[in-house]
Structure 1
Amino acid sequence: MNFSANHPSVEAPASGRSLTAMIWLWLGLLGAPVAWVAQLLLSEPFAAYACYPYDVPLSAPILKNLPAVLIGINAGCFALAALSGFAVWRSRQRFGYVQPGEDRNRFLVKLSLLSSFIFIVAVIFNICAVFLVPPCRPWF
């Protein structure tokens, strides 16, 4: 029983689309959110431990190069988010003019454009926090 004749959404992708094009498409869709999550999961524990290693908060971080470590983590995450944005642009050029039956790819490109933009902005806001919030001091 062939269900693909009844449902065009389950058709195989066109043979002209290569595996690398699909990898760029998925990198564009998932790269920036993964970069933002990695930014939070890596920078927050360093900052928390440097300022509050035990029961008493410290007035200065125990890691002398904490700002450099945080800038390095944030730079790497921004690079991954920017690569994701480049992948979205490349996928948009590749899948921008789709043939009939390839609406799925066009939808994924539009979704990755939205996702990358939102998460690149979130990564930039987290980078601003490193420069605007002093380490080991209350925010108020």
Structure 2
Amino acid sequence: MTLQIGNRVLALFCALWAGIVIGVSFIATVAKFAAVSLTRPVALDVGAHTFAMLARIEWGLAIVLALLIFAARVTRVRLLLLGLVVAILLGEAIWLFPALNTRTALVIAGETLPPSPLHAISVAAESSKVILLALFAAIELKAIKIR
């Protein structure tokens, strides 16, 4: 893959991935909780399923991004940004989503739970992914202009 084509493909791919995260995590999720016809347990259940599907998609996107990086040209910056995004995905998969799913199951079972920082942590993780992917895209676009 030529360098400029590689930069363009990487920029487009990272922008697409960031858009998916924005669409699911920040638009669809907010809209779901704004729907007065959905009870909180139902909205939480739908959210758990939505984020489980998003997580599977994001692991696929991470694999594709890694392949694109190796097809274009491996650089430290590219590997660092990919590594940071993958670290967030791992944190979500190993700790955050299981903890949120436990709380969701308890709410669905009718329990009233005290406030938790987990949702704020989730927003921070999703925001960090979007920022990293946008930064990745911007770096790739800037590299095109330099040449």
Percent identity over the alignment is 8
The one-letter amino acid of 1:21's match is L
* Equivalent residue number for residue 68 of structure 1: 42
1:52-67 alignment runs, 5 A limit: 65-67=39-41
Provide the C-alpha distance between the structure 1 equivalents of 2:28 and 2:111, rounded to a whole number of angstroms.
Answer: 19
Task: Give structure 2 stretches of 5+ with no counterpart.
Answer: 115-147
Residue 142 of structure 2: aligned partner:
none
Question: Which residue pairs with 1:137 in the alignment?
Answer: 112
Give 1 or 2 for the bigger CA radius of gyration: 1
Deviation of the 1:40 alpha carbon: 8.3
Conserved 8 A contact 2:66-2:82: yes
Once residues 25 and 64 of structure 1 are traced to their aligned partners in structure 2, the CA distance between those partners, rounded to angstroms, is 33
TM-score w.r.t. the length of structure 2 is 0.50
TM-score, normalised by the number of residues in structure 1: 0.52
- Equivalent residues of 1:88, 1:109 under 8 A apart: yes
| Structure number with higher helix proportion | 2
Corresponding residue number in structure 1 for 2:131: none
Q: Deviations over 1:51-85 (max 9, x none)?
A: xxxxxxxxxxxx78543322112211222232222
1:95 equivalent to 2:84? Answer no
Give the corresponding residue for 2:101.
Answer: 127
Contact 2:6 2:72 in 1 (8 A): no
Aligned partner of 2:81 among 105, 108, 124: 108
| Preserved contact between residue 13 and residue 65 of structure 2 (Cα < 8 Å) | yes
Distance 1:124 1:136, change over 3 A: closer
Q: Looking at both structures, which has the greater relative contact order when contacts are Cα pairs under 8 Å and sequence separation is at least 6?
A: 2
User: How is 1:19-98 mapped onto 2 (pairs within 5 angstroms)?
Assistant: 19-25=8-14, 65-96=39-70
Q: Which runs of 5+ in 1 are unaligned?
A: 1-12, 51-62
Q: What RMSD in Å do the two structures reach over aligned CA positions?
A: 4.0
